Amino acid sequence: MRPSIIVHGGAGRLRGEDVERRLEALKVAAEKGYAVMVSGGTALDAVVEAVVLLEDSGLLNAGLGSALTFDGAAELDAGVMNGDGLVGAVAAVRRVKNPVVLARRVAELTDHILLVGEGAEKLAKVLGLEVPEEALVTREKLERLKELKARWARGEDYSWLAKLRKLAEEHPGYFGTVGAAAVDREGR
């Protein structure tokens, strides 16, 4: 069977040059993931490689450059699975550069399916995957958070949040982050 991979990028408003840069990041991630399978890797190897590249790009709402919590932290989630029942996920991690790698380790090394927050970060530290919390925060996202907090402090109308939530419910998957799906030579 011929390997195949598809990747998708984060949600958010796109500006001129951002579109081209994001498309290029997606193209590179898909090509690298495909190359992993052509050289004998599994579909899981390929999607992890692709998502790592997207998390590291700083261009998408995943890993470096993620949207920030109100307290200014990047709080990240990731999950992996394959057709053989291997499943692993992490949520609310603040000190993990590539949560997709940690999610894979949860699947392969533990009896758990999901680790959250401090528990996931403890495993990341043991595995050498921990980074300083501030390493995931970009200047652009800090400026955006500062702007939103200033608007909130001025008492601006935030009814648009309810509309956004309704849109997200009506269009599941549209307002997501990054991801990848693949089928390798073995049809997995």
Q: Mind telling me the catalytic residues?
A: 177
Q: What share of the chain is helix, strand, coil (3-state, %, to 5)?
A: 50, 15, 35
Closest alpha carbon to 97 in 132, 139, 141, 46: 132
* 3-class secondary structure, 53: helix
Q: Look up residue 49 and give its amino acid.
A: E
Torsion of CA 159, 168, 62, 91, to 10 degrees: 100
Alpha helix (H) residue ranges in 39-98: 43-57
> Residue 12: what are its φ and ψ, rounded to 5°?
135, 170
Q: How many angstroms separate the CA atoms of 10 and 15, rounded?
A: 14
